[in-house]
Amino acid sequence: GLWSRLSRTMVCTAETSKTFSGHLSPFVKPSHYRLRLKPCLQTFTVTGKVEIDVDIMKETPEIILHSDVLHINSVDIKTVTQNFSDVSYHFAGETITLMPLAPLAVGKATIAIQFTGELRRDMQGFYRSSYQGEDGREKTIATTHFDSGCARLAFPCFDEPSFKARFDVELVVKKTITALSNMNVVLTDTEGDGFKMVRFATTPLMSTHLLSFAVGELKCSEATTKQGTTVRVYTTPVEMRQDKCSIDVAKRALEWYAEWFAIRYALPKCDLIAIPDMGRREDSKENWGANTFPEIDLPFNNFSQMSNGKKGEIELIAAHELAHFWFANLITNYWWTDLSLREGFVSIMDDLFVGRNYEEYQIRLRLARKETTSVRYLDVPRNPLQQVPHGSPNELDEIYYPSTYTKSNRMLCKYMGEEKFQERLRLYLARRCV
């Protein structure tokens, strides 16, 4: 049945599925990253260093991990008994193979890599976004989009969703700009030459595609949920508004989901970051603790003048990404498949949230009309609900159908009734979340 299928396809610990080709070795598993990045918003370059603690489950002559379009400056592998400072490496596609002089024994090791990269322009990896400042000059902020398989564009890593690990992040930036990541700031220190180092708290176990950074001239408004979570909405200074609608939606959604799932939001803060030239709402990203959205949707400019239909659509976007904190971040797919389970469950949750908290928008009626037409004419029978055995994250666009978001789970909720549906989801999350 669906519940047993769900158990097989979602993961809370770093286990590797052997179903599809193209996976990294299941015998080398990351447990902790220490990542330091220094992005330059003038030259659009990034210098970085990453240390990755790994568990070696079987003696191996090499370690393969992901790295794409990065220049590797040095590699070092340390074990309990040896320091392999002379490590050769070569690239193949989007991976790098590290080859020490002798095989690595079973146990723990630390991989240290120094590298350089760039702030891209294609909204993948660590990329830059531009806007016109209050003085009329072009300004730049840098942010991330790591879904799917794009973390490897920013730093060498084990870039598969089943390889969950903890992350310590440090960002070195100019003193005058803001640096954000998934977690709260624990230390800010002077680096010299007008720079500062911003260190963030250690993340919970999570996949690489949920990691996030944002650097630039950003301003925020904030509130606190009744569970004590700090909620902040960040925008560029030129777009800063006093409108509190975005804060209200985020605060109310985190409170409502925590009660509905009977599991508190796991992080101490939740940032919603408006990106200036992010054009598509589909590019919104559920980075744990640091959501990114198109600026057009945050902080809901001219919200009071919008129609109820438009208001409901905008609130659905925020509610959808926030629901992923439970169903995608706490628990995660083994691989880039079964999207209908991940997106379908979240879609029923954003529907329920907006329907319950903003009844005046009549969102359920509007969605029913829109999605019935969409699925009927664009999706059936060409794209039936099924597990899609794609081996590469690059093929994901082929399986983001309308039905990915609308089939299966809404039918299941309707069939079971919301009370029983809620009971089973609560039990499932309680058993499997980290």
For residue 19, give both structure tokens: 């179903």
Catalytic residue among 170, 255, 315, 321: 321
Could you tell me if 103 and 59 are in contact, meaning their C-beta atoms sit under 8 angstroms apart? Answer: yes
Contacts of 300 (CB under 8 A, 6+ apart): 241, 243, 245, 246, 314
User: Please, what is the end-to-end C-alpha distance for the chain in angstroms?
Assistant: 24
191 is catalytic: no
d(CA 194, CA 236): 21
**Is 90 a known ligand-binding residue?**
no
Quickly list DSSP for 193-229: TTEEEEEEPPP-SB-GGG--EEEES-EEEEEE-TTS-
CA-CA-CA-CA torsion sign (50, 122, 181, 318): negative
**Is 324 a known ligand-binding residue?**
yes
For residue 313, give both structure tokens: 């659509």
- The C-alpha angle with vertex 231 and arms to 227 and 235, in degrees rounded to 5, equals 175
d(CA 103, CA 82): 11
Q: Where is the binding site, in residues?
A: 320, 324, 343
Active site residues: 321
Q: Where is the binding site for Zn(2+), in residues?
A: 320, 324, 343
